[in-house]
Amino acid sequence: MTSFWLPDETGFSYRNGALFCEDVPVTELADKYGTPSFIYSRKAIETAFRDYDGAFGSHPHHILYSVKACSNIGIISLLAKLGSGFDIVSGGELLRVEAAGGDLSKVVYSGVGKTDKEIALALEKGIHCFNIESVPELNDIARVAASLGKVAPIAVRVNPNVDAKTHPYISTGLKNNKFGVAYEKTVELYKQAAAMPSIRVVGIDCHIGSQITELSPFADAEEKILDIVDQLAAEGIPLEHIDFGGGLGVCYKDEVPPSKREFVRLILDHLEARGYKHLAVTLEPGRSIIANAGILITRVIRDKTGETKNFAIVDAAMNDMGRPMFYEAWMGIVPAVPRDGATRTYDVVGPICESGDWLGRDRELCIEPGDVLAITSCGAYGMAMSSNYNSRPRAAEVLVSGSTSQVIREREKPEDLWRGEHLPTL
């Protein structure tokens, strides 16, 4: 049998010639729940969270799971029970956290486009703080808070103009990105905020991008942020926490990202060297908690030989997993039960009427129609970015814990596709 590499054997491994999620064969999950389906390992999720949490030791800290990575309330609930807080970017995500039983006092609200309605909702729910992204946003939050008779806790998201060395679509810390306040204008904005009666300054925030696989960009950003903390201290503006975002990358193919412990150690060493050991640290990991804890299972529909390529046509598509189409991202594709025999080189593609509907290119596989394949590292930005394009019902989501499994999101039915639509009566 050909050996197939897996990015994380915490939750997924080959045993006796078959792929397992924890103690359940993936083919059994495919038969029980159908395909395509997202399968998550509880053990992998819990291990990733505890790796972050444990790395801090006794240092005061807050781990805030980034809801946008995978927003299923079952996943949120699981993390809430571990003590996680949550990083959100919309009112809808706030309500998801509430529905899942999350502690709303551990919620940080990021994002550049908070509306008055969303700001009011967050204030009424008593979130931990807003990460401010611009001067107009600060003014809007101050106005809404004053109208409600409340004081809004805030941190300013600083854009340090540091190159995260990642895909341009997920880089957020450069001058030409829409996120954060310009580094040179940050102290003045803090002085303005500190003078507002309906604003309470509690922290400072920096998030330079996603899928970062080197420590040097984090080190550069932290030094620049601590320079601002020095200036704020001189202005008599104390802080309670420093938020270093959540951009630590994962292994999809052959990346070698630093460990969570190395990442945390870097942060704490810099704080201690600069005399800020007393400050709490906030992290907002999403991808590095959930990405390698999930797979997308799919069945081969047919094996098509083209003029220049072979195509493995499967029942999953770009509407289920958009990362390859959006970012030309490489996703692992492995058989649930590897076959003995010669492999061929395939492009793995879905049924959608787009040439961009591909999940993997130039993959060596030995397949037959009906075979189950697993697309690895799909926990982050899989279901969360899925759509109904081509009127395709969205996939089921399943959580596996040991030898048991449970649906945490039902597969959509065809009639769900037009629910809320109406025939005209004009």
Catalytic residue among 21, 353, 366, 378: 353
* pLDDT score recorded for residue 247: 80
What distance in Å separates the CA atoms of residue 293 and residue 41, rounded to the nearest whole number?
A: 5
First-to-last alpha carbon distance for the chain, in angstroms, is 64
Q: Is 382 annotated as a binding residue?
A: no
Is 7 one of the annotated binding-site residues? no
Secondary structure (H, E, C), 286-323: CHHHHHHHEEEEEEEEEEEECCCCEEEEECCCCCCCCH
The pLDDT value given to residue 167: 42
Summarize pLDDT for 360-377 with one digit per residue, the tens: 999 999 999 999 999 999
Torsion angle (degrees, nearest 10) of CA 116, 118, 121, 123: -70
12-41+291-418 matches 110-285 in fold: no
- pLDDT confidence of residue 369: 97
The superfamily CATH assigns to domain 110-285 is: Alanine racemase (3.20.20.10)
What does the angle CA 418 – CA 423 – CA 426 come to, to the nearest 5 degrees?
150
pTM comes to 0.94
Please tell me the distance from the alpha carbon of residue 106 to that of residue 195, in angstroms, as a whole number: 25
Mark the ranges of the chain whose per-residue pLDDT is less than 70. Answer: 1-5, 8-9, 162-179
353 noted as active-site residue: yes
CATH architecture, domain defined by 12-41+291-418 = Beta Barrel (2.40)
Break the chain into its structural domains and give their ranges.
12-41+291-418, 110-285
Q: What is the pLDDT of residue 179?
A: 67
28 appears as a binding residue in the annotation: no
Question: What pLDDT was estimated at residue 393?
Answer: 98
Distances 168 to 209, 289, 318, 367, 401 between C-alpha atoms, Å:
9, 22, 20, 35, 36
pLDDT at 177: 61
